[in-house]
Amino acid sequence: MSKKIIVAGAGHGGLTAAALLAKAGFDVTIYERAEEGKCGYDWTDIFDPKALDVVGCPRPEQVGLPWEWKIDMTFFGPNTKDDKKIRQEVPNDPNEMEIKMERSDIYKLLIGFATDSGAKIEYGVNILGPILAGDRVIGIRTDKGDFYADMVIDAAGAESVIRTNLPDCLGIQKHPLWGEKFYVYRAFYDLPVDPKTVEDRYKVMLLPDPGAVGIGWIATEDEFSDLLIGHMDPLTSEEVEEIAARYRKDNPQLGTKKLRGGQMVLIPVRQPLSIMVADGYAAIGDSAFMTVPIIGSGIGNAIKNSKILADTIIADKTETYSAETLWPYQYGYYQKMGKGIAPLALVKLLLTRISHDQLDYAFDKGILTKYEMTITANHTSLWKFLNFDPNLPKRGLAILGDRDLLVKGAGVVADVAACLVVEQFLPKHYSRKAVQTWAKAYDTVFTHRLKKMGKA
């Protein structure tokens, strides 16, 4: 009899894992709280289309779904003038470029892939938590009853009710801390100007809001403007209105009539989860904090890593799906992507302690350049951002000109070095003690910064 797999939540990586496992003969059911046709958000997303190739999912054009290439972003500090703004220069190369699709179309694509491969989906099911036998996950509790399986793949997002209700003895972190998540508001507004008159069509603003750690963007599309406000602290709707009104003063392309979206959603912007597996359990996507910490992109990574997860499950000839036999998934993920992504979380934490003036200084003095800001689909490692250009000595001297900035920069270098050392010791084979000891050391690399700021 084929082994039963539950995918909790129709997260992107959960859907593609479901497809791969169903194709391999597993009995896979996805449980999703949204109703059929209502998955995802009412906006567009950017992701690496090569992720689809990794799992053998058709490209959107093969199934008649629309997409377009992402355009370059232009970055601004809190008070950056036009002559100091930084425009990305993503190479005109399909291997580097990302695509933009409606989130609802991404879901159509991935759900089609999962169901065509033989996976089943139950919509309108609100999962309440895991069912445990001792500390093994054996199913899910839902508002429609209990469902049992040989293992549960947790694809229920950053605040998954499965992960947050696992027993403490498993050592799996439940909630992201302050500084590890963005509260994001996103909506599409009318476009009161001719889009051809807008010079920076994809304007990204770093630390744009006084007194807040956050980012904002205004992307000018042909028929609407796309507003995103992301803060490390929760935002009220009054604050959103106030911030949008302030942006409008310098950005007449941002209209006042809300056309679409308008939700507040959490994005993990942090290092990957330190322990992703337990007996009968594996986390994927936002539930395992797999986003690129600096930009919060998680769709491509969730899809790519679902291949490692599915391969690990298929390779488990013991059919026990224990922490031990699922460990090659986490180990493989860290080797392939996680250990490159984790140090980026330390760079992002700089955003929480750099002042608005210091960021302006970094733009004005050319310390930041188009090389650091050209973040493409392939930027899942710190090393991809490092650029030893001929202006490096000049940029170094500029950093020396602000002692406090230098100290903060040196702090990041020390943290990254510590992270790289700890990553080397990720156990290749599972033992609960060894893995939990490693996880403690790894987590400390990040939490010690937050502790220094009195935030953890």
Ligand X SMILES: Cc1cc2nc3c(=O)[nH]c(=O)nc-3n(C[C@H](O)[C@H](O)[C@H](O)COP(=O)(O)OP(=O)(O)OC[C@H]3O[C@@H](n4cnc5c(N)ncnc54)[C@H](O)[C@@H]3O)c2cc1C
Tokens describing residue 39: 């998955």
Q: Identify the burial level of 429 via C-beta atoms within 10 angstroms of its C-beta, where 0-12 means exposed, 13-18 middle and 19 or more buried.
A: exposed
Give the shortest CB-360-to-ligand X separation in angstroms: 26
Is 125 or 354 the residue whose CB approaches ligand X more closely? 125
Is 45 or 443 the residue whose CB approaches ligand X more closely? 45
Tokens describing residue 137: 């996950």
Give the shortest CB-382-to-ligand X separation in angstroms: 19
Residue 19 host element (H or E): helix 12-23
Distance in angstroms (rounded) separating the CA atoms of residues 96 and 105: 22
Give the shortest CB-34-to-ligand X separation in angstroms: 5
Tokens describing residue 35: 């109703």
- In this structure, the number of other CB atoms found within 10 A of the CB of residue 198 comes to 18
Is 184 or 346 the residue whose CB approaches ligand X more closely? 184
Give the shortest CB-15-to-ligand X separation in angstroms: 8
Is 165 or 444 the residue whose CB approaches ligand X more closely? 165
Is 154 or 423 the residue whose CB approaches ligand X more closely? 154
Give the shortest CB-333-to-ligand X separation in angstroms: 14
Residue pair 272/436 in contact by the 8 Å Cβ criterion: no
Give the shortest CB-33-to-ligand X separation in angstroms: 3
Residue pair 294/381 in contact by the 8 Å Cβ criterion: no
Kindly give the interhelix angle for 392-400 and 403-424, rounded to the nearest 10 degrees. 120
Residue pair 26/2 in contact by the 8 Å Cβ criterion: yes
Give the shortest CB-220-to-ligand X separation in angstroms: 16
Of 202, 201, 253, 264, residue with least CA distance to 229? 264
Is 290 or 362 the residue whose CB approaches ligand X more closely? 290
Sign of the torsion formed by the C-alpha atoms of 320, 323, 325 and 329: positive
The length of the chain, given as a count of residues = 456
Which residue type occupies 289? F
- Three-state SS for 192? coil
Is 184 or 354 the residue whose CB approaches ligand X more closely? 184
Q: Backbone phi, then psi, for 57, in 5-degree steps?
A: -80, 140
- In this structure, the number of other CB atoms found within 10 A of the CB of residue 203 comes to 24
Give the shortest CB-13-to-ligand X separation in angstroms: 6
> For 384-388, which contacts have Cβ atoms below 8 Å and span 24 or more sequence positions?
384/340, 385/344, 385/347
Give the shortest CB-233-to-ligand X separation in angstroms: 16
Q: How far apart are the first and last CA of the chain?
A: 48
Give the shortest CB-290-to-ligand X separation in angstroms: 7
Tokens describing residue 328: 């090659």
Is 46 or 198 the residue whose CB approaches ligand X more closely? 46
Given the rule CB under 6 A, which residues bind ligand X? 9-13, 31-34, 39, 45-47, 126-127, 155-157, 161, 184, 186, 228, 265, 267, 285-287, 291, 296-300, 302
* Bridge pairing between strands 277-278 and 281-283: antiparallel
Q: Backbone phi, then psi, for 30, in 5-degree steps?
A: -100, 130
Sheet holding 258-268, edge to edge: 86-87, 74-76, 202-206, 214-220, 225-231, 181-189, 258-268
Give the shortest CB-142-to-ligand X separation in angstroms: 7
Is 50 or 322 the residue whose CB approaches ligand X more closely? 50
Is 259 or 434 the residue whose CB approaches ligand X more closely? 259
Which residue type occupies 195? P
Is 70 or 358 the residue whose CB approaches ligand X more closely? 70
